[in-house]
Structure 1
Amino acid sequence: MSTSTSTTTTTDANAAAAGAPLGSATADGSTVPALFRPLALRGLTVRNRVWLAPMCQYSAVEGVPGDWHLVHLAARAHGGFGLLLTEATAVVPEGRITPQDTGLWSDEQEHAWARVVDVVHAAGAPVAVQLAHAGRKASTYRPWDTRRGTVPPEDGGWPTVAPSAVAFEGYAEPTAMTTEQVQDVVRAFADAAARADRAGFDAVEVHAAHGYLLHQFLSPLSNHRADAYGGTPENRARLLREVVAAVRAAWPEDKPVLVRVSATDWVEGGLTPDDVAAALVSLDGVDLVDVSSGGLVPATIPVGTGYQVPLARHVGEVTGLPVSAVGLLTDATEAEAVLVAGDADAVMVGRAALRDPMWPLRAAHELGVPVAPDGPAPWPAQYLRGTFAG
């Protein structure tokens, strides 16, 4: 939901120039579809509203991104995505989901990410880093490993921490964090944000979704604390508030801060969209909310095309913040309809982007966007002989 606030503005320069309603499109390109209108957040103008969702690659060594990450992100930048988000990047070693996750707590990681950022920028796209701590869902095997559950120390794993000593189903029981450990996490997020700025990232996203640490603090299903970080909804949101404030303070004023949330736990007694919206309203300095759902506990989720879009719309309406929608938006016309209806300000493409690095350029063709130099469909000159138009 595009709104203007003291910290966030959205622009639609192409729409204004065309004098056309958002989302109208014609085969001759006289107007531009909503997916290919620019969006401005603080000092960053993103070339379109088809964004690459953060997707773990489980291919780092000691938290350092390598050639796989460079090629993965560069290919999708050349493929026309507006904003690229990295995979969940841990702020401390014990915050990694798997031993093969990327991190941003060391100089070596910072320098490696700078190399990736430079290549993505050369391809014409901005890139955001998603900062994360997995909490009780850390130290696990990669999805394609034949083993499941928590990786033991003898195989490169580590003890996990969480707001309370409540295990995720099938994982080892975590240790409840002390107040000092909680404050260490706040500092770690801020330190990682400073590293991200030095590495050249254009935006930062705080990962508070999918059952990871900040989500664990938010939900009463996983947070049984009786101190200032537990009990009431306000207390359970305290860590997220402190992390966002610390990241915002460490991050340049002209660069946007995003937050990814799970808008519902999909189980009785868990978080609801109103709960999450109330927590978001208490935050300062957030420029866009990346709305997803689930991941905290096993749940029956009504997965289907656009199944999370109503959640994004609700969060946007309640908070007044711009939002992105994600979740099985694999068809160009479906994604376009989300924006035209005002359900979200941008769409995230995940698994479909793994199958097709040029998803945005294919979508542009399907929506009638012409191939033109410096046009809204950013085809690399080297690939013009292969356009979908033939």
Structure 2
Amino acid sequence: MSKLFTPVNIAKLSLKNRFMRSATYMGFCDIDGMPTQECLKYYRDLADGQFGLIVPGYLYPVPAGRSSLRQGGMSTDKHAEAWQSTIDYIHKQGSKIVFQIGDAGLGSRFEVTKERPRGASATGPMNRAMTQGDIDELIEAYKDIALRIKNVGADGIQVHSCHMYLLAQFLSPGENKRTDKYGGSPENRCRLHNEIISAIRSVVGNDFHVSIKINGDDYKKDGTKPEDAAKTVSLLKGIDLVEVSCGRTADAMARSHCFKTFPFIPTYNLDAAKTIKKANPNMPIACVGNFRKVTDMEKALDDIELISLSRPSIADTATVKHLMEGKKKVKCVSCGQCMIKSNGVVKCFI
């Protein structure tokens, strides 16, 4: 049997295989941030499709951190309770579910939040730097959410800190221009992350899974590089798993890796993931980004623990099942149309 389909323990979280469904904005939720039936069915289908770890993504922690009217939320008990039956279903299929919580920061939109976007630092008159009060509110929100999702049976929480959303803005030396305790040195730039993680651990204990998704490379001259990401991981306390992605949401250079019309780069985040792993050998690592062939996935497991899939799960919710049945590559052809054509709900156009 291929190692891809063997069980693995990530700290206290036992997974039936090495496949993680990477958190992805899908546009499945209503204007109150509640999951629609279409949304819940999609995640149940992923469990039927044999993904070992399923991560519904980009759920806002506070209304001010919202970027879209179709973005899901986890800021109230009602949000969590809406997922209860789906969590139970996923568990019955032998899969695990971890919720990704992410604040858009400067990526939030006034027409959605009715507030000026706030981030690590202001970039102009239309946005502002977070105050200590904003930061305290965010930490408290993450703490409340962790307990909220634990109480409805979820297996863990993922802190979203990539793609230049809020927490990635704090990590990036090019974006974070603060002169207080949250800016300057690498230790200061990841201070907020450690405060969030500590707050989460204070209410869920050490057995609940806590992971983080970070950029291995910002693809920006003064941004985070793989060596910076490796340093960040070494400074984080209380994390069970690091998922490695890259780039900025609106960055054409980073997004170009995703499209066949550009020079196609398979497993384009793997080198950064290896750099992080080499500096942090005891930290379990997941990596997302153009894993399309079984041979590439198997080779990657020499260096990392989990293969994280995003667009393949959009093209085919049964991706893992089909690979188990003998398929040598995923259905997704990396055309990127799901990223640019969708008007509302993200879907495959092939």
TM-score w.r.t. length of structure 1: 0.78
Q: Which residue of 2 aligns with 1:313?
A: 274
Query: Which segment drifts farther, 190-199 or 56-65?
Result: 56-65
Residues 66 and 112 of structure 1 are in contact (CA less than 8 Å); yes or no, is this contact kept in structure 2?
no
Specify which of 265, 277, 284 is matched with residue 237 of structure 2: 284
Report the alpha carbon displacement of residue 328 of structure 1 after superposing the two structures with TM.
1.0
Cα distance in structure 2, aligned partners of 1:157 and 1:125:
38
2:92 matched to 1:152?
A: no
Deviation at 1:41, TM superposition (A): 2.1
Please give the alpha-carbon distance, in whole angstroms, between the structure 1 residues aligned to 2:178 and 2:128. Answer: 12
**Deviations for 1:323-353, whole angstroms, at most 9, x for unmatched residues?**
01110112222212211xx221110111011
Measured against aligned partners, the alpha-carbon deviations of 1:256-314 in whole angstroms (never above 9, x if no partner) come to 21110001111222111111111211111111100111116735237221011111111
Structure 2 residue 322 is matched with structure 1 residue 362: yes
Who is 2:92 aligned against? 122
What is the CA–CA distance in structure 2 between the aligned matches of 1:152 and 1:99, rounded to whole Å?
Answer: 9
2:308 equivalent in structure 1? 348
Are 2:167 and 1:208 aligned?
no
Say whether 1:57 aligns with 2:26. yes
The 5 A counterparts of 1:209-228 are 209-228=162-181
Q: Which moved more, 1:87-96 or 1:128-137?
A: 87-96
Q: Distance in 1 between matches of 2:16 and 2:7?
A: 5
CA separation in 1, counterparts of 2:12 and 2:213?
A: 20
| Residues 313 and 98 of structure 1, relative CA distance in 2, 3 Å threshold | same
Contact 2:286 2:307 in 1 (8 A): yes
Q: Which has the higher contact order (CA 8 A, sep 6+)?
A: 1
Partners of 1:192 and 1:318 lie apart in 2 by 31
Contact 1:265 1:272 in 2 (8 A): yes
Question: Which residue in 1 is equivalent to 2:74?
Answer: 104
Q: Equivalents in 1 of 2:243, 2:197: separation in Å?
A: 14
Q: What letter corresponds to residue 111 of structure 2 in structure 1? A: P
Aligned partner letter, 1:115: S
How far residue 107 of structure 1 moved from its aligned partner, in angstroms, is 1.7
CA contact (8 A) 1:138 1:160 kept: yes
Contact 2:217 2:247 in 1 (8 A): yes
Q: Distance in 1 between matches of 2:7 and 2:202?
A: 27
- Return the alpha-carbon distance in structure 2 between the equivalents of residues 362 and 158 of structure 1: 45
CA contact (8 A) 1:265 1:296 kept: no
Provide, for residues 190-226 of structure 1, a one-character-per-residue CA deviation record: whole Å limited to 9, x for no partner. Answer: 1111111012111211111111111001112221111
Matched residues in 2 for 1:51 and 1:227: separation?
Answer: 37
> Once the 2 structures are TM-superposed, how far is the Cα of residue 229 of structure 1 from its aligned partner?
0.9
**Offset of residue 89 of structure 1:** 1.1
User: Within 1, Cα distance between the matches of 2:151 and 2:88?
Assistant: 12
Please name the residue that 2:292 is paired with: 330
Aligned partner of 1:15 in structure 2 is: none
AA of the residue aligned to 2:213 = R
Q: 1:357 Cα shift? A: 1.0
Q: Which residue of the other structure, out of 25, 40, 64, is the alignment partner of 2:9?
A: 40
Residue of structure 2 in register with 1:148 after alignment: none
Q: Deviations over 1:104-158 (max 9, x none)?
A: 111210110222212222222111100111100112xxxxxxxxxxx526xx654
Q: Does the Cα contact within 8 Å between 2:24 and 2:58 map onto a contact in 1? A: yes
- Return the offset for 1:173: 3.0
Contiguous gaps of at least 5 residues in structure 1: 1-31, 140-150, 369-390
Aligned equivalent of 2:139: 186
**Is there any run of 5+ residues in structure 2 with no aligned partner, and where?**
258-264, 329-350
**Cα pair distance change 1:179/1:111, threshold 3 Å:** same
Root mean square deviation of aligned Cα: 1.8
Using the TM superposition, give the Cα deviation of residue 232 of structure 1 relative to its aligned residue in structure 2, in angstroms: 2.0
What is the aligned-residue identity percentage?
A: 29
Give the TM-score normalised by structure 2. Answer: 0.86
Residue identity opposite 1:258 in structure 2: S
SS of the equivalent of 2:214 reads strand
1:382 is matched with which residue?
A: none
Q: Could you list the per-position Cα deviations for residues 163-210 of structure 1 after superposition, in whole angstroms to 9, with x for gaps in the alignment?
A: 11116xxxx832211112112111111111111101211121111111
Which residue of the other structure, out of 111, 118, 122, is the alignment partner of 1:161?
Answer: 118
Q: Which has the larger radius of gyration?
A: 1
**What code does the residue aligned with 1:361 have?**
K
Question: 1:293 — aligned with what?
Answer: 246
Aligned length: 318
Deviation for aligned residue 1:230: 1.1
